Chain A
Amino acid sequence: MIVVLGLSHRTAPIEVREHAAMPGELLGEVLAELVAQPNVGEALIVSTCNRVEIVAAGRDSSVEVLPLVLDELEAVLLKRAPMVRNYLYRHAGNDAVVHLFRVASSLDSLVLGEPQILGQVKTGFEQAKQNGTVGSHLNRVVAHALRTAKRVRNETAIGQGQVSVPSVAIDLARQIFGELKGRRVALIGSGQMGESVAKLLGQAGAELVVLGRNSERVAALAIQMNAVPRDLASQLKQTLSEVDVVVTATSASGYVVDEDAVAQVRKQRKGRSLFFIDLAVPRDVDPRIGDIDNTFLYNVDDLSQIVAETLSSREVEGERAEAIVRDEASNHERALSAEQVTPTLVALRKQFSGVLVAELQKSLRTRLKHLADDDREALNVMLDSALNKAFHPLTRRLRTLASSERAQADSDLHLSVLAALFELDVHAQSRASLSPAALKSSNQPSLPEAAPLDPVASNDPNDSKKKVS
């Protein structure tokens, strides 16, 4: 069972979020403080510009401890940033799992479907692992969250399309020209958006030309963008005859590029495609240019409309993604339920094993004292094997009951009867599995190999056979 405590763009304005932000150099210290709390067994922090969240598991795997864990996390967080008190949200148990899965799948992001959050969750997890604050619970739940996020990406179109004007413009240029390497791009004006688009085109391998009326400003911009400077008044037609993409972002009140200018260079262009990206308001490019063959014109409204369409289609995909998250969270809950039988089985096996080993030792000291070391070892293996065989049906049955929603009550009853009849200290067992030593030992080098603490995994009789032979 895990908990999540945090604040995000949904609950807190940026002035509050910036107080709670945790820079990388502080993380180790905060994580250490968190796991030093009496009830906090494991912890990791996801800190981005839009959210700060602490995901934690208790030292005890019982549900009762979760509110205490949340209180302790809150106390640590408030000690560092008292002003966030009224902006925090708390999730526990399955709610926390669903929340984590939604966050990793980018369903809780400011821009639905943005890809960065998955990397940020991974980073938070890796940092916590490096600081030794991740154990079996977080290992398992984060691995499952990452799998869920990948499933959402693969099975829905939530990450499809571009959600910013510059990236839409680049995507359109690719649909017209394919590879942008070696293409020539003219930037007219020095608007911020225009520069962003031109920079992206430059990064894609295009050669840049900067045009403007103010030669000093043009020269400075050309140096900044590694472009060729040109005079707008005298070199516009020459530029139009050479380039493939024209990005305009001036503050001129009339058209900077009119239909005549494009018509006049058509012969020199020999029908090559020309793509205008007009980011200015009022518009820089005569809209009639869009009707000329092999000439494509998109203004800021057209690009914004595409962004809006993408966002709207992401909303629709978001519903499908939510269903996947619910499905995976339910799978996770079932797997966890099956795991809850482990402490009882371990305690029971330990008790039986203790009795058998004590009796064997007694016999080895008296009637069987003539046995050689090899024979003694064989007897130990045989006892172990017999115990595994005896426990196998019980383990299988209890896990099946625990993972079934309908038989959950039966499973709980069986576990409590076993604990009562054999006077088992199940909580001691689960505490032992979450001790700092156990935590360290359960820290695996990478996610796929991260195995849960499962002391009864060897109950398969086939394993025992191998040992005996």
Chain B
Amino acid sequence: MQTLAFIAFLLGIVSYTASATLFFADVARQSGASAIGGFGPKAFAVGTFAHATHLVLASFVTHTCPVESLPFALGLSALMTNIAYLLMRERAGITAMGVVVAPLALMFLLGEQFVGHGAPPGQSPSLLLALHVTTNVLGAGLFILAGVASAFYLIQEHRLKNKRRALSGRKLPPLDALDATQHRLLVIGFPLQTFGVVSGSFFLSTMATVGVSEFLSSALAFATWSITGGVLVTRATLGWRGRRAAVGSLLGVACVLLVLALYVFRAGAGA
């Protein structure tokens, strides 16, 4: 099983690298439609499958309870991002976002190898803890993709506003598609994040002592939730979409990434 997990890991690395290269070549290519463009998403789908297989097998090999394992949390976040991208890309016309999503997935896959494995074997988490971790990582995955869409929006918007080489971004997704994608992902991710924040607060209240890292991660999670909620509410009431929503969404995603970085740092310090 260890060998299989290793093969899946290698296949994941190769597929993600290939897809990132193909996406980049397609976006950088100035001439019209290219044959290589179609292979990027396929390689990315293979990479996602290998990544998921690796995650499951590695969990069995190390006898690690998935929801208490940081690599699992990182991996599941990345997989959520990947799956959301693969499901939405054709319909929303956001295929070019693969140029960021694929390297991000590769980074997560590699990053999983350098962080600790969490709880020792034999300890089973409570149902609430399992739900807390799962909703948080799923929400994080969706928010990361929303952040990528927002970053693309700001690049496209800047290009179109400045009118310099406005047509050179023809391969990037249209502004409205990026705005709609970001909004949809936030709408889906927000309830998950809400549950994560509420259940997190419950766990925090049951702890005898709250460390700095727990406090920081809770504060950042709450900041993410507030910012995302703010983006959704102002969009619905004041019509704040486009640039403002993209900036807000990026701020929220920055908080999510900081939470993940904090977990990685804490795992590294504990190892």
Interface residue ranges, A against B (CB under 8 Å): 153-157, 159-162, 168, 171-172, 174-178, 266-267, 269-273, 290, 293-294, 296, 298, 302, 305-306, 309-310
Contacts and interface: CB of A to CB of B under 8 A. Distances in A.
B239 A298 contact: no
Nearest to A244: B176
Contacts of A305: 163
B159 to A, nearest CB: 8
Contacts of B177: 178
A296 B173 contact: no
25 contacts: A153-B31, A160-B30, A161-B167, A162-B167, A172-B167, A175-B169, A176-B160, A177-B175, A178-B173, A178-B174, A178-B177, A267-B239, A270-B239, A270-B241, A271-B238, A271-B239, A271-B240, A271-B241, A272-B239, A272-B241, A273-B175, A294-B241, A298-B166, A306-B163, A310-B167
A306 B163 CA distance: 8
B178 to A, nearest CB: 9
A273 B93 CA distance: 17
A309 B156 CA distance: 18
A294 B243 contact: yes
Given A266-B239, A267-B239, A271-B241, A171 B160 contact: no
Given A271-B241, A306-B166, 5 more contacts: A153-B31, A176-B160, A176-B174, A176-B176, A270-B239
Contacts, number: 80
Interface in B212-255: 235, 238-245
B32 A172 contact: no
Given A161-B167, A175-B166, A271-B240, A290 B173 contact: no
B32 A159 contact: yes
B156 A175 contact: yes
B184 interface: no
Contacts of B240: 271
A177 B167 contact: no
Contacts of A177: 174-176
A155 B32 CA distance: 10
B172 to A, nearest CB: 8
Given A178-B174, A271-B241, A294-B243, A155 B31 contact: yes
B157 to A, nearest CB: 8
Contact of A175 (B174, B179, B238, B245): B174
Nearest to B35: A154
Contacts of A175: 156, 160, 166-167, 169-170, 172, 174-175
A157 B167 CA distance: 13
Nearest to B172: A175
Nearest to B31: A157
A154 B161 CA distance: 31
A273 B32 contact: no
A150 B246 CA distance: 41
Given A177-B174, A177-B176, A178-B93, A296 B31 contact: no
A136 B238 CA distance: 71
Contacts of A172: 160, 166-167
Contacts of A269: 239
A157 B32 CA distance: 8
Contacts of A155: 31
A302 B235 CA distance: 31
Given A155-B31, A159-B32, A293-B244, A171 B163 contact: no
Contacts of B242: 271, 273, 293-294
A154 B170 CA distance: 17
Nearest to A154: B31
Nearest to B176: A177
